[in-house]
Each structure stands twice: as C-alpha cells, then as structure tokens.
Chains A and B, each alone.
Chain A
C-alpha cells in the first residue's frame, strides 16, 4: 500500500522527513534536462512553461541546464492557471500570479509544462486548457519534480524527478532557493509551518 509506517500510527506521533536534499534536486534537474534533450532531439523546438510559483523557477533552472549541456536555450514562459481552475466556485478567489507567454509563442513547438508536485492532475488539466488559448503546439509534455500519486484525471508525467507514494493525509513541501532560501522536498503527516520545513531542510536530519 506504500503507507509510511510513521504516519500509519495515527496516535499523535508527528513526523516529517526529507525526501530530496538540495544536492538530489540539482541531480534531478540535470537528469530531466538530459532526458528532455534526448527525447526532443536536442530541444531545438522546445519551449518551457512553468506553473507558478515553484514550477516557474524549476523551468528556469531546466533552461539553464539545457543551455549548459547543449547550445540551445529554450524560451521560458510562466502560466498561472488560477483563471482556468474548475474549483473556484467551491474554494474562492485567490490572488493571481504573473503569466508570461514564452518568446515566439507556442505554435508548432513542443511545450514542456513544468510543475513541482503532480497530485490530482487538475492543475495540469487547467494548464492544458490555458495552452489551447495560447495557440496550437505540436506536442505538450509534462515534467514534475515529485509525483505523489492520487490522480483524479488520466494524466501522466513524461519526466519525473522522484515518485513518492504518499497517503492523502500527508503533505508534500517543495522548497526552492529563489523563493524559500533553501532547496529541498519534505513530507509530513501534519501541517507544519513553512519555517519548520525550511529549518528541517537546512538543519539536516529528520526528527
């Protein structure tokens, strides 16, 4: 069942642990960048589109790594999917993030959507709708740092940093240096504050 033994106790014993360190994230980004180069024949026709906030930063990192491994620098865009969500009626309005179309548009390109965590798949569904309004790409692929399962839609990532079997009660936290001051991914069975997670990621070892 893939249930974490610590969270299975359910008797108030709280646990949080690091599942990707800063070094591992950087290796994962390198690996995904190589896979993109391989799968898209040198990434010459690729555009990267990050989903805010952390997907946008991951997309920028993948762009830098692809540029380092080859002489191609794919354009990067940012796509906030809030206005395309299908749960606004139940969850209420939220502030919008910046949206920026990649230079040269997406028509005829291979678009690689980049997000930090793949969960229900609903964010990606909304992103696919949004991309359709931007133009007609040749293909759309999906790269995620963490796939935690529990899909509610038939969506599968093309590039996965790490598969993490989780239970629905667990929380996955992704920290990215540009945003949070440290890199890392942690999992928890309660709701710690982001400061606690950052302290865990920078201080090393899990409790």
Chain B
C-alpha cells in the first residue's frame, strides 16, 4: 500500500480488495478470543489529531490502534494549544519531533490531511476533512456490503446496485463512497433534492435522481445520509417535515425494497427524519454492524500502512 490514505480514490481495485481481505482475516483471527489484542504494531505511535468533535470515529481508530498494540495519543483541538492560536503546521512539526509513526486527522477544512502529509514523515490517514472525504468510512461500508451480500475474499462489489440518499452536498461519506464503490465495480445512484446535490455531479462516476420512490425497488443497498442540521443554515429544503416525507426512509418505503436489500447509515442518525426508528432497528439495518466492522477495517488500514519497514 501507499504511505498515506488520504482519499478513497488513492486505492486501486487490488489495494481496496486487499484492505477488505485483510480486515476479514483480522476479524476471523480475533473472533471468539478472550484477548482481543495483537502485538503487530508494538512500539509504534499513532496520534489521533481531531480538530472536529467525533467520538465515534476517534474511538474506532483508538480501539483499532490499541488492538494492534500501538501507543495511542489523542489530541483534540479543544483545550490544546490550537485554541491558543497554534497553526496546523506547528502542531505537525511538534508531532514530527515526537516521532509519530501515523497521524489520523480529522479537520474542518477540506484538504488539511494533504497539507499535513507534506509536513510529516509518518503515514497520514484522513478521518474526515470538511465536506470532502472520509475514506475509512467508505472502506467499512464496502466491507459491510461485501459481507452482507455473501461475496467472498478476493472479490469486489461488481454489479451491486447502491443507492445513496440525502445530503450529498455536505457529505464526505457520500463522496468517498462514490469513488470507492466505482473502483470496486458497484453501480451507484445518488438521490437527493436538487439543492443538496453538488454542482458538477454529472461528471461523477454515478447516476443521480431526485425521486426516491423510483430508485428503491432496484437497489441492493440503500445508504441513508444524516441530515446535517448544523449545516442547514441556508434554505436547502422548505421544512424538515417535507424533507422527511420525500426523502426519509419509513416502513412503507422500506417495504418496496427487494427482499434481500440492506439499509445502511453512517451514523449518528436523526431518527424519524432521514430514517424511521423501525427501519433503523429492523433486520435490514446494518447500522450496528458497520460500527463493529469499522474497527476491523481500521486495523487493516493501520497494519497495511505501518506494518512494514519504518
């Protein structure tokens, strides 16, 4: 693998499949174990550098690094020198001087991980930059899809029909998923109100539509995106109620899905808005599984980036 994981587009098909295979083997080797710990990255240091709050992703990376016996340092912007005005570059130089082998960064500015990668010698993993990308989330989603659709090791997602619904405009999850799923051979359709599709979406390697009811019957996977209320200061849609009626996945809509279709959500959910509670807790839902798979996939990424020669 390459030195960094910054974008889902960095991965070739073979590399992406290798990450999924590695995650599957790691999961198998830890299954049913009392001691869920491997000595693989003993003596390596992983820094979680979080400029934006994200308990879920940070804990997932922290657990993944700890299960591989790496030393983990959590660094959040709140309460650190960043709140005293220190720049990203000075933070990077500090980490460099302390000998971090990998930096997992989440930042509100799109592109911050690329900038960081130019300042540090270790590996940089993008854990979400602005509204841009979130490659490990895309990998764990692909891992969940491959497992749920009964595909085996070595395989991609060829011919799988994936519908991604909601706020594509602000969603780094959607962006990384489109790139990775295309690489793995899946057919992606984005469904959103016209105001929540980015300009230039026609040039993306996927289809798009404004009509959820038309898109559901042909889908093998439906991925609901969170409505990011904190970003909804402009008038992207008239009311929450109207959004929910046109683009929310309720029980009636879910019933129009193929019998084997699955429902995914990157979390955290707005229950009753983009997804009804009974669908989120139903048998189609993979939401809890995605969280568990996230740890295995992040272990695979850290092993592939850091396992080799320093």
Contact = CB atoms under 8 A, between A and B. Distances in A.
B21 A96 contact: yes
B29 A80 contact: yes
Interface stretch (B45-53, B272-280, B285-293, B302-310): B302-310
A97 to B, nearest CB: 7
B28 A88 contact: no
B307 A101 contact: no
Contact of A84 (B22, B26, B39, B310): B39
B38 interface: yes
Contacts of A98: 25, 28
Contacts of A96: 21-22, 25-26, 29
A134 interface: yes
B310 A135 contact: no
Most chain A CB inside 10 Å of its own CB: which residue of B28, B37, B303, B304? B28
B18 interface: yes
A88 B308 contact: yes
A178 interface: no
B33 interface: yes
B35 interface: yes
A78 to B, nearest CB: 9
Contact count band on B:
20 to 34
A116 B122 CA distance: 37
A133 to B, nearest CB: 4
Contacts of A135: 34
Contacts of B33: 101, 133-134
A39 interface: no
Given A84-B38, A88-B308, A133-B35, A95 B29 contact: no
B308 A93 contact: yes
A53 interface: no
A139 B309 CA distance: 35
B40 interface: yes
Contacts of A95: 18, 21-22
B29 A99 contact: yes
Given A83-B26, A84-B40, A129-B39, A93 B307 contact: yes
A134 B33 CA distance: 6
B303 A83 contact: yes
A100 interface: yes
Interface in A68-85: 80, 83-84
Contacts of A93: 1, 303-304, 307-308
A11 interface: no
A133 B39 CA distance: 10
A90 interface: yes
Interface in B92-110: none
A83 B29 contact: yes
A83 B68 CA distance: 9
A89 interface: yes
A32 to B, nearest CB: 26
A88 B29 contact: no
Given A83-B38, A92-B308, A99-B29, 9 more contacts: A83-B26, A83-B68, A84-B38, A84-B40, A88-B40, A88-B307, A95-B18, A133-B34, A134-B33
